[in-house]
Structure 1
Amino acid sequence: MATQYVIQGTTAKGIAASVERGVTEGELAPGDALPPVRKLADDLGVSPGTVATAYKELRARGLVVTRGRGGTVVAEAPSVASRRPPRMPEGLTDLASGLPDPAFLPVLRPPAEVRPVYGSHRAAPRLAALEELTRAWFRRDGVPATRVTFAHGALDCVARLLSVELRPGDAVAVEDPGFHHLLDLVPALGLRMVPVAVDAEGIAPDALRAALRSGVRAVVFSPRAQCPTGASLTVARRDELGALFREFPEVLVIEDDYLAELDGPPAPTVGALGPARWAQVRTVSKRLGVDLRWAGLTGDAVTLARHDGRMLMTSGWVSHLLQETVVGLFSDPEVARLVERGEAAYAERRRALVDALGARGIRAVGSAGLNVWVPVRDESAVVNGLRTHGWWVAAGARFRIAAPPAVRITASLLAPEAAERLAADFAQVLGDAQATYGG
């Protein structure tokens, strides 16, 4: 523990608040050890039970973790702050953002005229036109969509689903490596993460079976272009997962199809196999605009009803101004053509980078999506080494729990002709790191 910070408080809530304040203000850093329960109790003049209760609350909220004989330490990514990347130094090429190329995003044109209405939209929260377009969007890929509803993005939707279904301390199976914001969200809700390995076909059945048997209450995974590896489900893998979920009908299955486009090949969905509790959420921010905070959601009747019930009590509905904007984009053939050009460009850029790295003996994966995932021995050495060559890539620590180290490269922003130069620099950095660190 940082010696300059003294934990204070005479109640469990006060002690927990003092620790949280230290983490928030940077006085307690990730990995810093908290005092043993009995020592802190003696220092504060309280019972050991009071300190134990405070530590239990902090663990439930994702601020600290207990490592057996290693004691209680501040979590690597405490839930008071997200896994935000370090600020990119000036003059570097940004290959860390995970964002689409603005050249393939349409100009957003909100409706020119929206007449005022009496009261609110709570009684009719969804535009009928967007409901129908959303239903067709899901059904095009074979996703059952008898009912649809809306949310303010994928994380907003997942947070609401988990909060109405689970209670603090419940376990959620997540992909490892996986979407870094989801890895922040789960502990912030007071839930426990159970990491599940990912292979070339998506979430791995054997690892998932172990997680289900351990008692997880929900599973969150991506059926296509998994972040950060780019893995997508095959039909065979989808069928394996479906068989597993049928053995555990009480588990809520959430598919985050964040990269579903307006056109393209279908993505196999476990929803087609009829799990008892299931939902799929789709967003448009990567394909139509990062400021479009809208998501479509389908699933079983109970899951959608619980989602909408909680939304009614909080934000109420998604802005009809936003819904009108999405309707216009979904209905515009020129936007569809622009999205198709983006899809083709992203595929070319991914292949160029994976091939260029592979030609130098560097294994990389990225069969879909915007990024390429490259396993390495030392993330910091690679990130800092590439920085000296003018490249800014993301350390894999933000995306993983127990998975091996790697770096993530945003290929969507890398022109094919630049892939060779990046690969050559990458190979040099790996050679320098081996000379420095050995092995």
Structure 2
Amino acid sequence: MAEQYGIKGGTAREISASVESRVADGALQPGTSLPPVRRLAEGLGVSAGTVAAAYKELRGRGVVVTLGRGGTVVASAPAVTSRRPPRVPDGLRDLAGGHPDPACLPALSPPAHVEPVPGSHRASPRLAPLEDAARAWFARDGVATGSVTFAHGALDCVARLLSTELRPGDAVAVEDPGFHHLLDLVPALGLRMLPVAVDDEGIRPEPLRTALRAGARALVCSPRGQSPRGARFTPGRREQLLSVLRDFPDVLVVEDDHNAEIADAEAVNLASGGLPRWAHVRTVSKHLGIDLRWAALACDPATLARHDGRMLLTSGWVSHILQATVADLLTDPAVSGLVAEAARTYTTRREALGAALEGHGIPSHGVSGLNVWVPVRDESAVVNGLRTRGWWTAAGTRFRITSPPAVRITTATLTPAEAVRLAQDFADVLAESQAVYGG
């Protein structure tokens, strides 16, 4: 058996090194089952405890994962590129990116005068005006502000939270369909994804319970403006989810409220539910500008200590020039008025496409945020059909794990008049694909 797998060694360290080298050279592919502990121990002439210790080491390094009765298998390779969107072809109307309308964003005005830094900002990483503004932002929506800090954007924050809280091989419950960059990030950290189905009210309680029972040690979700489906939590759904989560007090619940100001949805969050382990992340890229790589994090004290401890060892702090820029924007009444108008514009555009599609008998989802999610039978046929008519949309495959096929359309720049044309083209493409597949 050991010869069959090419595994050698007489100590736990030698055995784990042998397995890792076979994985590195491709002899053991992702998903390959390793021999049971006792069988490998007999083949190598060592104790079962030695092999068990080797497998434990491999799990800790993210080389293998244990699937209960499914045994120990080689972990999947990190999917760091597979879900990234392709380049938009020339001449097409881009409705695939998920980005805000530049016309709805304020002009950025960095500080005109910046004094040289006297050493390091590690001792005072957060500017007081921005920290005050962030606390007020959270408090407005019922999020506790006892522990608040900053990061370089939502994904930077989530990555740090997961990497300090979990070990390689651990499982994370994620939305399905969900944010494609997060679906790349989790396996890149050596973690496993457990999909949780989403409907218009957000993650569903029973699939969440299933994922938590399967061993998920963290949950990452969006309370509103969820990408790609546009879901938002309702008060009833929030209570159902909190009821499930209270049975798993050690699970870290991470909320990514990246669309807080433009989602057109009330603030209904899990962070205000009294959970012992929680983190609520907000960014400004969708309503103030995509170049502002800044995030505010409110969380429980233990999570704050772990996040900031790791950050001090790496980047140290968020640029104070960036912080000053964000602070000025967050406290500028004129900018607040522009953001409020942008939110109304996005709602009008999103609802216009939903209504136009409904006029053709095409069901869609998108009750908040910047996107509309349209279930289809064949993603490629629809995306390619719309491409021939001048539209560039996103196939749902890069947002899905096990959920059914769909197409995501970003409506941030789509005018109501364009929505009527797009819906007609969508209906024509569906009719053509139905003819191909026999109705």
Alignment correspondent of 1:88: 88
Counterpart-to-counterpart distance in 2, 1:328 and 1:373: 35
Distance 2:262 2:402 in 1: 34
Indicate if the aligned counterparts of 2:263 and 2:369 stay in contact, CA closer than 8 A: no
Q: Are 1:16 and 2:23 counterparts?
A: yes
- 1:121-153 Cα offsets, whole Å, 9 max, x none, are 000000011110000000111111122100001
Q: Deviations over 1:171-197 (max 9, x none)?
A: 110000000011011111111100000
Q: Is this contact kept in 2: 1:196–1:203, CA < 8 A?
A: yes
Question: Residues 339-378 of structure 1, C-alpha deviation per residue, up to 9 Å, x if partnerless?
Answer: 1111111000001100000110110111110100000010
Shift of 1:18: 3.9
- Residue 168 of structure 2 is aligned to residue 168 of structure 1: yes
Residue of structure 1 in register with 2:389 after alignment:
389
Find the aligned partners of 2:359 and 2:426 in 1 and give their Cα distance.
12
Opposite residue 234 of structure 1, the aligned amino acid is T
- Alignment partners' CA distance in 1, 2:60 and 2:208: 27
Aligned to 1:413: 413
Separation of aligned partners in 1, 2:360 and 2:113: 56
Equivalent-residue separation in structure 2 for 1:147 and 1:302 (angstroms)? 9
3-state SS of 2:245 partner: helix
Query: How many angstroms apart in 1 are the aligned matches of 2:108 and 2:134?
Result: 19
Structure 1 residues 169 and 127: CA distance shift in structure 2, 3 A: same
The answer to whether residue 298 in structure 2 is matched with residue 298 in structure 1 is yes
Partner of 1:101: 101
Q: Which residue of 2 aligns with 1:150?
A: 150
Q: Tell whether 2:228 aligns with 1:221.
A: no
Q: CA, structure 1 residues 292+360, in 2 after alignment: closer, same or farther (shift >3 Å)?
A: same
For 1:37 and 1:288, locate their aligned partners in 2 and report how far apart those are by CA, in whole Å: 50
Kindly indicate whether the alpha-carbon contact (under 8 Å) linking 2:262 and 2:343 is maintained by their aligned counterparts in 1: no
Task: Provide the C-alpha distance between the structure 2 equivalents of 1:358 and 1:387, rounded to a whole number of angstroms.
Answer: 21
Alignment of 1:20-169 (within 5 A): 60=62, 78-81=78-81, 83-169=83-169
AA of the residue aligned to 2:278: W
**CA distance 1:58–1:307, shift in 2 (3 Å):** closer
AA paired with 2:302? V
Q: CA deviation at 1:404?
A: 0.3
- Whole-Å Cα distance in 2 between the matches of residues 313 and 201 of structure 1? 39
Alpha-carbon separation, structure 2, partners of 1:363 and 1:264: 20
Q: Which amino acid aligns with 2:273?
A: L
- 2: CA distance between counterparts of 1:143 and 1:225? 18
Whole-angstrom CA distance in 2 between matches of 1:216 and 1:36:
22
Q: What amino acid sits opposite 2:420 in the alignment?
A: E
SS at match of 2:267: coil
1:350–1:372 CA contact under 8 A, matched in 2: yes
1:391-419 Cα deviation digits (max 9, x unpaired) = 00000011010000000000112111111
Counterparts of 1:352 and 1:215 in 2: how far apart (Å)?
42
Residue of structure 2 in register with 1:280 after alignment? 280
- C-alpha deviations, 1:300-335, integer Å up to 9, x for none? 111111100010011100010100000110111111
In structure 2, the CA distance between the partners of 1:378 and 1:74, relative to structure 1 (3 Å rule), is: farther
Determine the C-alpha separation between the residues in 1 that align with 2:33 and 2:397. 28
Corresponding residue pairs, total? 408
Structure 1 residue 350 and structure 2 residue 378: aligned? no
**After superposition, where does 1:175-254 map in structure 2 within 5 Å?**
175-254=175-254
Amino acid at match of 1:126: R
Partner of 1:257: 257
- Take 2:337 and 2:189, find their aligned partners in 1: how far apart are those partners? 40
Distance 1:313 1:219, change over 3 A: same
Give the Cα separation in 2 of the matches to 1:374 and 1:263.
Answer: 18
Which residue does 2:270 correspond to in 1?
270
CA contact (8 A) 2:138 2:144 kept: yes
Could you give the per-residue CA deviations for residues 286-311 of structure 1, whole angstroms, max 9, x where no partner exists? 11000100000001111111100010
Q: Which runs of 4+ in 1 moved over 3 A?
A: 10-20, 32-38, 56-63, 71-75, 262-266
Does residue 360 (structure 1) correspond to residue 367 (structure 2)? The answer is: no
Cα distance change of structure 1 residues 193 and 61 upon mapping to structure 2, 3 Å threshold: farther
Contact persistence 1:178–1:400 (CA under 8 A): yes
Unaligned runs of 5+ in 1: 1-9, 21-31, 39-46
Residue pair 1:256, 1:281 contacting (<8 A) in 2 also: yes
Identity of counterpart residues, as a percentage?
Answer: 62
Are 1:249 and 1:276, in contact at CA under 8 Å, matched by a contact in 2?
yes
Conservation of the 8 A alpha-carbon contact between 2:363 and 2:375: yes
Q: Give, in whole Å, the separation in 1 of the partners of 2:307 and 2:205.
A: 28
| Equivalent residue, structure 2, for 1:401 | 401
* Secondary structure at 1:413 match in 2: coil
Secondary structure, in 3 states, of the residue corresponding to 1:407? strand
Shift of 1:16: 3.4
